[in-house]
Amino acid sequence: MNYKDLLDITKKHGSPLYVYDSEKIRSQYDRLTAAFSNVKNVKINYAVKALSNISILKLVNSFGAGLDTVSIQEVKLGLLAGVHPSDIIFTPNGVSLDEIEEVSAMGVQINIDNLSILEQFGAKHPEVPVCIRINPHVMAGGNTNISVGHIDSKFGISIHQIPHILRIVENTNMNINGIHMHTGSDILDVEVFLYASEILFDTAKHFNNLDFIDFGSGFKVPYKEGDIETNIEEFGEKLSKRFNSFCKEYGKELTLGFEPGKFLVSEAGYFLARVNVVKQTTSTVFAGIDSGFNHLIRPMLYNSYHDIINISNPEGRERFYSVVGYICETDTFATNRRINEITEGDILAFKNAGAYCFSMASNYNSRYRPAEVLWHEGNDYLIRKRETFDDLVKNQIEATFFKKQLVPA
């Protein structure tokens, strides 16, 4: 997909707009599976929270991927997309026992990350296969907002609580069929991840009837030219060797699992917005677009970097712009960024907009959420309509006291 394609799509579907390139998603999936081609059983479960459009779920499922879900609603989206329950793993955090039981009844693989729910579920449903999420206390990412394996994380059961887990399993006679970890996003150092993996292998030795070990994900993707990323090929070579060795020790061919979200869809996504106004102040040139952090919150929430291209003038001379939105708050996408000269009406393309972008969008300032388009084999397919005013108000109910006639005194 080139800039002309993106311009044509924007002209056809309007702005702001999310566009996803299916070919890039496929190539990332193939790259990951190729890296672990020496492992007999590999299971890729796409992290639905990254981008939950049903068409995307159908697409990754057509490659052979299952789904990693964190809410009962994501589970239902997966089922609606035609994914078999056995190809879905449910890894929630802080949800009720009722929700876990409801999902379990759907035939989905359950993954439990706290001792209290583990004991309650095991006591009531000892026959149901359960995976246990371990917190290895390893900081694999560099940002505490997106690293979930550190010691103060709310995610997972601490490795120091293994004796508690074993006591619960023994007392309930529950069926533990998987061990899981997720250390967080933007993993750079393969050796740190491999260190965390050794902790998971040591934990797995305590359980005799495992079917799989799930290593989560968190692989870093490049956000700009020359940016560093996780070396998937090196990681695949090293972890495959160690995993195969462990399976021999364990006496059983286990399945190696991963839950990539950002790795699969981040680089496939573009966010397209029109420039409403170019505003010069005493020290800054602002390019104000027809969007805000209601549509793309990552720069404000995580200080994340998204490369911004003026696809209406990609060869123009570069100037410095601060790209901002139309929300009545500070909603800055980029500060003093070199961008080809911008004029009002130009279309800006934000790269790496496939993961945690639309899925975190809101109606703040009563703005409509944008449309979504899937670019597949040279054609554009609308996969989510742009919201309208009816969408904003359809679930609002007028308070009954407004309907009462006031009787004059």
Task: Kindly list the catalytic residues.
Answer: 328
Instruction: Report how far residue 409's alpha carbon sits from residue 311's, in angstroms, rounded to the nearest whole number.
Output: 65
Instruction: Report how far residue 102's alpha carbon sits from residue 260's, in angstroms, rounded to the nearest whole number.
Output: 25
Q: DSSP of 150-219, one letter per residue?
A: STT-SSSEEGGGHHHHHHHHHHHT-EEEEEE---BS-B--HHHHHHHHHHHHHHHTT-SS--EEE----B
Q: In 115-247, at which residue ranges do the beta strands (DSSP E only) sit?
A: 129-135, 157-158, 175-180, 212-214
Q: What angle separates helix 54-63 from helix 72-80, to the nearest 10 degrees?
A: 70
Instruction: Report how far residue 66's alpha carbon sits from residue 174's, in angstroms, rounded to the nearest whole number.
Output: 25
Instruction: Report how far residue 340's alpha carbon sits from residue 47's, in angstroms, rounded to the nearest whole number.
Output: 35
Write the CB contacts of 226 (distance below 8 Å, at least 6 apart in sequence). Answer: none
Question: What is the greatest pairwise CA distance in the chain?
Answer: 88
Strand, coil or helix: what is 217?
coil
Contact 50, 44 (CB under 8 A): no
State phi, psi for 71 to the nearest 5 degrees. Answer: -150, 160
